[in-house]
Amino acid sequence: MSGLLKRVVAGAGMAVFFLQSLSAGELWVRKSPPECGEKGFATVREALACAAAGDTVRIFSGTYDESGLRVPDGVTIIGSGDVYIRGALPATTDCRTANETSTIDFFGNGKLENLTVTARNMRYPVHSDFSEGNTRQEVVNCRFIHYGSSELHAYRKRHGLISDSIADSLFIVQSAWGGGTRAGDERIFRDCYFESPMRAFSTHNNVDFHLSHGASTVILERCEMVSHGRGIDGRPVGFRAPVVIQSLESHTADRVILVGCRINGYLCFQNRPTHAVWCDTPNLKLVFNTVGGSRVMADQISVLAENLDWFPVIPQETEYCINCGKEPVARGKAVKRLPSGIGLMTSDDPADAFCGVALQTIEPGRGGEVKVRGYLPYPYFDGLWPGTVAEGDGIGVDGRGSFRRNDPNPVAYASDNGNIRIK
């Protein structure tokens, strides 16, 4: 673990927690009838109705077709064997019911372990939001799959029920994990899998965290997020959204940390990004889009252009470099490698001298962060915003160290969705 990550985790005050006590009880759920003398439940719902803080609900192997399961505060749910909790609604379900129903509602303290939770024609497999703040959730070795709501959409379209009214339209994000944090919340995921037509793993903060418990923290370790990049109608949306981070006005630097995760291509950000994001998955592209939020798909690259001091840390692709040149390297300028550090690159330098883009202004003799490989959205490249880039455009450097399109001596090339590959 890098020193930077250690400092971030230490600053979050994170510790593994176990919601257990000497008085904690264990409630069993099993498909087969209990044997003589055994106490148990036939459904997860019945067990949760009897569970209290500190209890463990142990579910034995089987498929449980249930939804709208509310986890009481402080309860642990553990699967023994192959446990499937399948939430599904018929295609004829009305919008309000579909939008408000998830397989599991997980709003307070607690733990989920060794479960497969799915959803079809409803909100989410797991909805984790609306806590009172300063809560902790641990999720270990679980699979969360949203099979989509295309049947709902097709039925409504076939019967002329599609409406422009927000009150009478379906949620289209189809998140496998629909998460929201309140002030001081901690969410820890280990060895989990998330899959969805649109958003695989989604998290957002809320407002005014600075007035109570402070910043929230979300940590994912050795997890996999798979998005198929398809809308509620089943058609491609133009990008995949395996991880979506939505920023609201929390007024704190809420942390999202991804360690050793497999992510199929993109980090997606909704609204002006304010989270402190650390991710050691290389070669990720960034997308700024509502990604179905408020039932729309809308490009939001302009919110990045207004906030270029912010950037996610991908440690394999970012280096702290000393400016050994004679002039400042302003944020967004081209950087060249020098024998003992870096300096400002201009069109007078050969294209192969290019080593990256300054993410901060670096004065002579001082150090700063430089993006040296991977992908970076074009507003970070001084000289390219406002404007657009098209996939395949060659990006060169002018006499001031700014960037320009369709240069005869390109140092980088535009990729899809406004990303530029550095190396």
Looking at the fold, whether 218 and 366 belong to one and the same domain comes out as: no
Would you say residue 156 has pLDDT above 70? yes
Looking at the fold, whether 42 and 66 belong to one and the same domain comes out as: yes
pLDDT for the residue numbered 340: 92
389 domain-assigned: yes
Looking at the fold, whether 263 and 323 belong to one and the same domain comes out as: no
Looking at the fold, whether 257 and 329 belong to one and the same domain comes out as: no
pLDDT for the residue numbered 36: 52
Q: Provide the mean pLDDT of the chain.
A: 92
310 domain-assigned: no
311 domain-assigned: no
Looking at the fold, whether 328 and 375 belong to one and the same domain comes out as: yes
Boundary of a domain, candidates 305, 336, 355: 305
| 28-42, 282-296, 378-392: range with highest mean pLDDT | 378-392
Would you say residue 20 has pLDDT above 80? no
Looking at the fold, whether 236 and 329 belong to one and the same domain comes out as: no
Mean pLDDT for the stretch of residues 155-159? 93
Mean pLDDT for the stretch of residues 238-264? 97
Tokens 């880039």, located at residue: 389
Q: At 22, is the pLDDT very low, low, confident or very high (cuts 50, 70, 90)?
A: very low
pLDDT for the residue numbered 169: 86
pLDDT for the residue numbered 37: 54
Mean pLDDT for the stretch of residues 267-286? 97
Would you say residue 370 has pLDDT above 70? yes
Looking at the fold, whether 288 and 361 belong to one and the same domain comes out as: no
Mean pLDDT for the stretch of residues 192-207? 98
pLDDT for the residue numbered 10: 46
Looking at the fold, whether 203 and 245 belong to one and the same domain comes out as: yes
Structure tokens at 356: 């990256």
3-state secondary structure string across the chain: CCHHHHHHHHHHCCCCCCCCCCCCCEEEECCCCCCCCCCCECCHHHHHHHCCCCCEEEEEEEEECCCCEECCCCEEEEEEEEEEEEEECCCCCCHHHHHHCCCEECCCCEEEECCEEEEECCCCCEEECCCCCCCEEEEECCEEEECCCHHHHHHHHHCCCCCCCHHHCCCCCCCCEEEECCCCCEEEEECCEEEECCEEEEEECCCCHHHCCCCCEEEEECCEEEECCECCCCCECCCCEEEEEECCCCCCCCEEEEECCEECCEEEEECCCCCEEEECCCCCEEEEECCCHHHCCCECHHHHHCCCCCCCECHHHEEEEEECCCCCECCCCEEEEECCEEEECCCCCCHHHEEEEECCCECCCCEEEEECCCEEEHHHCCCCCCCCCCCCCEEEECCCCCEEECCCCCCEEECCCCEEECC
Would you say residue 99 has pLDDT above 70? yes
Would you say residue 21 has pLDDT above 50? no
Boundary of a domain, candidates 260, 278, 305: 305
Mean pLDDT for the stretch of residues 223-239? 96
Per-residue pLDDT reduced to its tens digit, 113-124: 999 999 999 999
Would you say residue 7 has pLDDT above 50? no
Angstrom distance (rounded) from CA 4 to CA 150 = 43
Looking at the fold, whether 262 and 329 belong to one and the same domain comes out as: no
394-397: strand order across its sheet: 375-377, 419-421, 412-414, 394-397, 403-405
Tokens 């909805």, located at residue: 127
Looking at the fold, whether 287 and 250 belong to one and the same domain comes out as: yes
Would you say residue 6 has pLDDT above 60? no
Would you say residue 9 has pLDDT above 90? no
Boundary of a domain, candidates 283, 305, 327: 305
pLDDT for the residue numbered 162: 81
Would you say residue 203 has pLDDT above 60? yes
Q: At 165, is the pLDDT very low, low, confident or very high (cuts 50, 70, 90)?
A: low
Per-residue pLDDT reduced to its tens digit, 372-383: 999 999 999 999
Looking at the fold, whether 379 and 249 belong to one and the same domain comes out as: no
pLDDT for the residue numbered 12: 46
Q: At 129, is the pLDDT very low, low, confident or very high (cuts 50, 70, 90)?
A: very high
172 domain-assigned: yes
384 domain-assigned: yes
Q: Which residue has the higher pLDDT, 16 or 155?
A: 155
Looking at the fold, whether 62 and 195 belong to one and the same domain comes out as: yes
312 domain-assigned: no
Q: How many domains does the chain have?
A: 2
Q: How many CA atoms lie within 13 A of 289 on its CB side?
A: 27
- Domain of 364? 317-421
Q: At 164, is the pLDDT very low, low, confident or very high (cuts 50, 70, 90)?
A: low
Q: What is the CATH number of the domain that holds 41?
A: 2.160.20
241 domain-assigned: yes
